[in-house]
Amino acid sequence: MINIYCKPFEELSNLELYDILSLREQVFIVEQSCPYQDADGLDKSALHVSLYFDNDLAAYARILPKGLSYNHYVAIGRVVSSPKYRGKGYGIKLFQKVMEISADRFPGQTIKLSAQTYIQRFYQQFGFEAIGDVYLEDDIPHIAMVYKY
């Protein structure tokens, strides 16, 4: 059974927060061999969107209001799928919900994200367009992408 939740930081249970931090660490730090400061202080201001399959966190993303990550854009970040559930379409389901929530909570505002270049096509299917040049973020090639309403 699939359940998708959107919660501000204060409403996350200890277990939900543990699941989120654990998945982000598993993929971004361990799998991608990228030591970085995941607890960046922005989680407290974010909307946390989690897709659970049964009781397992299968995919996750956070949405930040304009002015936190980017001065002029709503930001979507920390988009991640559990290795255990990849290839099952859960990332697509999660991101569809992220876009719905963004449109509802931040109507008409342009959204920006920093995409790892290998997954650029994933975001293009949702209407994101690459802007600027490829750059290294934590030694991983990224490209800025925006979605305009």
Q: What is the pLDDT of residues 72-96, one digit of tens each?
A: 999 999 999 999 999 999 999 999 9
Amino acid occupying residue 39: A
* Mean pLDDT along residues 94-104: 98
Task: Establish if 49 belongs to a structural domain.
Answer: yes
Task: Establish if 93 belongs to a structural domain.
Answer: yes
Please tell me the predicted confidence (pLDDT) of residue 139. Answer: 87
Nearest to 40 by CA among 49, 51, 29: 29
Checking if the pLDDT of 70 tops 90, the result is: yes
Task: Establish if 122 belongs to a structural domain.
Answer: no
Task: Establish if 68 belongs to a structural domain.
Answer: yes
Mean pLDDT (the chain, rounded): 96
Instruction: Give the global pTM.
Output: 0.95
Percent of the residues in the chain that have a pLDDT greater than 90, as a whole number: 94
Domain CATH number, residue 25: 3.40.630.30
In this structure, the number of other CB atoms found within 10 A of the CB of residue 92 comes to 14
Task: Establish if 57 belongs to a structural domain.
Answer: yes
Our count of domains for the chain comes to 1
Range of the domain at 42: 2-106
User: Please, are residues 95 and 126 in contact by the beta-carbon 8 Å criterion?
Assistant: yes
pLDDT digits (tens, 9 = 90+) for 104-149: 999 999 999 999 999 999 999 999 999 999 999 988 999 999 999 8
Please tell me the predicted confidence (pLDDT) of residue 104. Answer: 97
